[in-house]
């Protein structure tokens, strides 16, 4: 069989015909109640949780010697863990099927689709049974099948949730998708599964006017953002690691374009090491208020777990409980929620995170209280990180103030943050001027000057203000420590304004 004919064989005429025929459930018009869904989204019917898993997604793989982090064990270990815990058997297993060409073409260019469809016709060799289509993304003889199943399985899962046949669902499939854009694969991603599913749902069911995509993968979902940048029927929210972290996109000022200004919400966290408290605060003060105003009829989560503590790439500290709490915060907005696996490369960690989230889908929301401190005061590092998160939240709210009425009320920290930044910048300017003249030991630098620099607040060019503590001897190590302690005090002021 010729390669091109073989590549197109996945898209059978019979299946394409079947796809465009409305199902019995669709003819029942389950959307008749949508006009009364209310301000907090559409309530899901009583029903089961669906799950998609197909071991054929393991066909997309490299030889073990290559050591690629996006490997079949990711989904295999997740499925084994969900089965061992008895969670998988409580779900309705939805068979994966290959996405159709016309479904993919709603999102991707023909050239993009051809790259994936032709991946099994390349003249591979025993020595090199794969090739790269970008610096990070490989294809092999099994790539086409895996990629089509990942996209098609998510489409069907979303459709069943939309039709009320399922309450919610989780697609445990790979390869991931959120970096894949309109015109090509990128960053381990072949097709943008979430974008494909969202576009198919809105094309097939015009009544679905509002879909929310929440991306909590540690990497910015640049492909998803680009695909929906001008679409005001899709709200895209992404919390990710910023400050030059791959793919170096997703700034606060990236807010969409044209009629969809304000429908892209990016929260780039300024450093690694941030955990549950930071993520939950972003959800509470940014994502959930906007989502409630948007009133989504379906939520799709790009559920990357590479922000989990212990991930070899992410460098963050979110726990499985933290992910489950984020998911719990979305349920009151709209309980028709579908999770799609994205990144995450510590296989046991992502299995634990998947189990925690599936537990929420099956049993309902968990407590979303802030993580307890176990009776201990926050460390200097924790206080500085908290100050950075508060500053980022204030920035995001300010940028989106023209687009969302939920931000009409001033952020309770905005005045405090402005004052704190001015004082902190002055303190850091003092510290910077002292670095060259103080003969600090390496150990002292690590505990004082470096701690202050970690605050991440830009240095100020103005002279020290009267708010800065007096420093009797600029050559004294204790003087730097005093300044650092002052920074911590300002961080506390950010955290507890008005006290």
Residues with catalytic annotation?
179
Tell me which residue of 270, 276, 279, 262 sits closest to 241, measured CA to CA. Answer: 270
Task: Look up residue 238 and give its DSSP letter.
Answer: E
Strand locations in 184-285 (E): 211-215, 234-241, 264-269
Task: Look up residue 141 and give its DSSP letter.
Answer: T
Three-state secondary-structure class, residue 76: helix
For residue 183, the Cα-to-chain-centroid distance in whole angstroms is 21
Instruction: Give the pairing of strands 92-93 and 131-132.
Output: unpaired
189/172 Cα distance (integer angstroms): 15
Tell me which residue of 154, 268, 282 sits closest to 211, measured CA to CA. Answer: 154
Instruction: Give the pairing of strands 298-303 and 211-215.
Output: parallel
Three-state secondary-structure class, residue 409: coil
Torsion angle, CA of 213/218/222/227, rounded to 10 degrees? -20
Task: Look up residue 317 and give its DSSP letter.
Answer: B
Task: Look up residue 298 and give its DSSP letter.
Answer: E
Task: Look up residue 80 and give its DSSP letter.
Answer: H
Query: 60-68 — which CB contacts under 8 Å span 24+ positions?
Result: 60/139, 60/140, 60/142, 60/143, 60/145, 60/146, 60/147, 60/174, 60/175, 60/190, 61/140, 61/142, 62/130, 62/138, 62/140, 63/129, 63/130, 66/130, 68/138
Sign of the dihedral defined by the CA atoms of residues 139, 143, 148, 153, in that order? negative
Pull the structure tokens for residue 5: 């004919």
Three-state secondary-structure class, residue 337: strand
Strand locations in 351-444 (E): none
Three-state secondary-structure class, residue 305: coil
Q: How far is CA 247 from CA 178, 186, 229, in A?
A: 11, 10, 17
Three-state secondary-structure class, residue 381: helix
């Amino acid at each position: 069989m010729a390669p091109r004919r073989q590549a197109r064989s996945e898209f059978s005429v019979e299946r394409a015909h079947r796809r465009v025929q409305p199902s019995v459930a669709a003819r029942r018009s389950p959307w008749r109640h949508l006009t009364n869904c209310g301000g907090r989204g559409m309530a899901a019917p009583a029903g089961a949780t669906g799950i998609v898993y197909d071991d054929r997604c393991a066909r997309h793989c490299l030889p073990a010697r290559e050591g690629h982090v996006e490997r079949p064990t990711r989904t295999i270990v997740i499925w084994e863990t969900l089965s061992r815990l008895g969670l998988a058997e409580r779900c309705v297993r939805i068979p994966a099927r290959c996405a159709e060409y016309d479904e993919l073409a709603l999102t991707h260019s023909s050239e993009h689709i051809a790259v994936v469809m032709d991946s099994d016709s390349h003249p591979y060799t025993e020595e090199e049974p794969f090739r790269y289509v970008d610096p990070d993304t490989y294809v092999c003889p099994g790539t086409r099948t895996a990629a089509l199943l990942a996209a098609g399985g998510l489409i069907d899962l979303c459709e069943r949730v939309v039709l009320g046949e399922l309450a919610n669902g989780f697609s445990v499939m790979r390869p991931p998708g959120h970096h894949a854009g309109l015109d090509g694969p990128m960053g381990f991603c072949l097709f943008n599964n979430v974008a494909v599913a969202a576009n198919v749902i809105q094309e097939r069911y015009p009544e679905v006017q509002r879909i929310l995509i929440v991306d909590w993968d540690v990497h910015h979902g640049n492909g998803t953002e680009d695909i929906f940048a001008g679409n005001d029927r899709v709200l895209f929210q992404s919390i990710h690691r910023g400050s030059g972290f791959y793919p170096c996109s997703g700034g606060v000022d990236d807010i969409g374009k044209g009629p969809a200004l304000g429908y892209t919400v990016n929260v780039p966290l300024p450093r690694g090491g941030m955990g549950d408290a930071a993520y939950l605060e972003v959800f509470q003060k940014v994502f959930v208020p906007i989502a409630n105003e948007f009133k989504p009829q379906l939520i799709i989560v790009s559920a990357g777990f590479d922000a989990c503590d212990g991930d070899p790439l992410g460098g963050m500290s979110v726990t499985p409980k933290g992910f489950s709490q984020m998911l719990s915060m979305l349920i009151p907005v709209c309980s028709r929620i579908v999770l799609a696996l994205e990144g995450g490369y510590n296989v046991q960690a992502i299995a634990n995170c998947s189990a925690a989230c599936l537990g929420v889908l099956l049993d309902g929301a968990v407590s979303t209280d802030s993580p307890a401190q176990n009776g201990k005061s926050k460390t200097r590092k924790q206080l500085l990180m908290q100050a950075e998160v508060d500053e980022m939240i204030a920035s995001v709210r300010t940028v989106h103030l023209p687009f969302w009425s939920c931000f009409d009320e001033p952020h309770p920290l905005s005045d405090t943050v402005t004052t704190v930044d001015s004082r902190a910048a002055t303190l850091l300017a003092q510290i910077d001027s002292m670095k060259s003249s103080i003969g600090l030991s390496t150990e002292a630098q690590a505990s004082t000057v470096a701690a202050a620099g970690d605050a991440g607040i830009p240095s100020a060019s103005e002279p020290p203000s009267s708010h800065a503590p007096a420093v009797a001897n600029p050559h004294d190590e204790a003087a730097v420590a005093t300044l650092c302690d002052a920074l911590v005090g300002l961080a506390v002021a950010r955290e507890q304004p008005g006290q």
